[in-house]
A and B are shown apart, each in its own frame.
Chain A
Amino acid sequence: MFSREEGFSLVEIMIVITVIAVILSLLYNLQLVGNNLWTRETNYLELQLDSIFFLKKINQDLREAIDFSLSSDNSSLTLYLDDKEPIRYLFNKSVIYRNGQKIIDFVKLTPFKGSSGLLTINLFLKKGSESYRVVDRISIRETF
């Protein structure tokens, strides 16, 4: 009944433990790489979508504007409309506000630059390790 049975030798157990450790480490690394890539791609996509939304909004606003003015440090942009209240864009600590409402985040530098009816928007966004730049130019004149 209690006869001695053959078990695993120490070498066999150590080999099994090593194999399990290697497999677990591979799986962990795979999960880590996947997670990093996922975060990077999500951040990059978010920056792109934010840029599209911001550019679309400011393009729409400038098409209606009859003129615009920039503050001396280019952090504030005011668009003057025909019969409506002016629209004010303000860059403050990586956020751009439109009439006091946050419209885009993760902006590194003030994007506004321009004069005489031609506004250049140099939008540089950075989130985590990902950055994205898109430069656009918008004119308010529709003479042609």
Chain B
Amino acid sequence: MFKSQEGFSLIEVLIALVVLGIIVSGLFDFWAINDRLIKRTGARLQALCLAKMSIESFKAELGEDDKSKSLLQRLQKIRARETREEKIYLTKWYPQVDFKKEISFKENKSKGYWVIVKVAWDNQSLELRRLFTDH
């Protein structure tokens, strides 16, 4: 009844262990990739809001600003303030992600200026732009 039977050879046991190892490591990789994807989506939303924040500031402040100065001068003044603020708040709000914000202007056929806000982080970037004209 309990006769001795042939067991597995060392090679068979090793192959089984390797296969099991691959399955477990695949499972961990799957979780890690999933985790990274979710975090990346979160960072993208934060970056989008950062770019939008600057555009909104331009919108609100240009309405109140001294109209005697040229549009470009007013835009540059707001950009200087935005850059100052960014230094204070970016690391405080988002300590885990290294966001870099860059604001530039591009003239649009003498009708105004495109305000281009570029946000970069972790080898990724996005750009938001809006045209501002002088009324």
- On whether A141 and B1 interact (CB within 8 A), knowing A44-B38, A133-B93, A136-B52, the answer reads no
Let me know if A48 is at the binding interface, CB within 8 A: yes
- On whether A137 and B52 interact (CB within 8 A), knowing A41-B35, A118-B60, A144-B62, the answer reads yes
- On whether A144 and B133 interact (CB within 8 A), knowing A48-B41, A116-B64, the answer reads yes
Let me know if A34 is at the binding interface, CB within 8 A: yes
Q: Which residues of A contact B58 (CB under 8 A)?
A: 144
Let me know if B31 is at the binding interface, CB within 8 A: yes
- On whether A52 and B59 interact (CB within 8 A), knowing A6-B4, A143-B135, the answer reads no
Q: Give Cα distance in the complex from A26 to B24, angstroms.
A: 10
Number of A-B contacts (CB under 8 A): 81
Let me know if A5 is at the binding interface, CB within 8 A: yes
Q: Which residues of A contact B3 (CB under 8 A)?
A: 6
A96-144 contacts to B, CB under 8 A, are 116-118, 120, 122, 132-139, 141-144
Number of interface residues of B (CB under 8 A): 34
B56 and A139 contacting across the interface, CB-CB below 8 Å: yes
Let me know if B94 is at the binding interface, CB within 8 A: yes
Least CB distance from A121 to B in Å reads 9
Q: Which residues of B contact A44 (CB under 8 A)?
A: 38-39, 42
Give a binary string over B6-43; 1 marks a CB under 8 Å from any A CB, 0 the rest: 00000000000000000010010001001100110110
Q: Give Cα distance in the complex from A55 to B52, angstroms.
A: 12
Give a binary string over B88-113; 1 marks a CB under 8 Å from any A CB, 0 the rest: 01000110000000000000000000
Least CB distance from A104 to B in Å reads 15
Q: Which residues of A contact B62 (CB under 8 A)?
A: 143-144
Q: Which residues of B contact A118 (CB under 8 A)?
A: 56-57, 60-61
Interface residues of A (CB under 8 A from B): 5-8, 30, 33-34, 37, 40-41, 44-45, 48, 51-52, 55, 116-118, 120, 122, 132-139, 141-144
Closest 5 CB pairs of A and B: A139-B60, A137-B53, A143-B63, A118-B60, A137-B56
Interface residues of B (CB under 8 A from A): 1-4, 24, 27, 31, 34-35, 38-39, 41-42, 45-46, 49-50, 52-53, 56-64, 89, 93-94, 132-133, 135
What are 7 of the A-B contact pairs (CB < 8 Å)? A30-B24, A37-B34, A48-B45, A117-B60, A135-B46, A143-B59, A143-B62
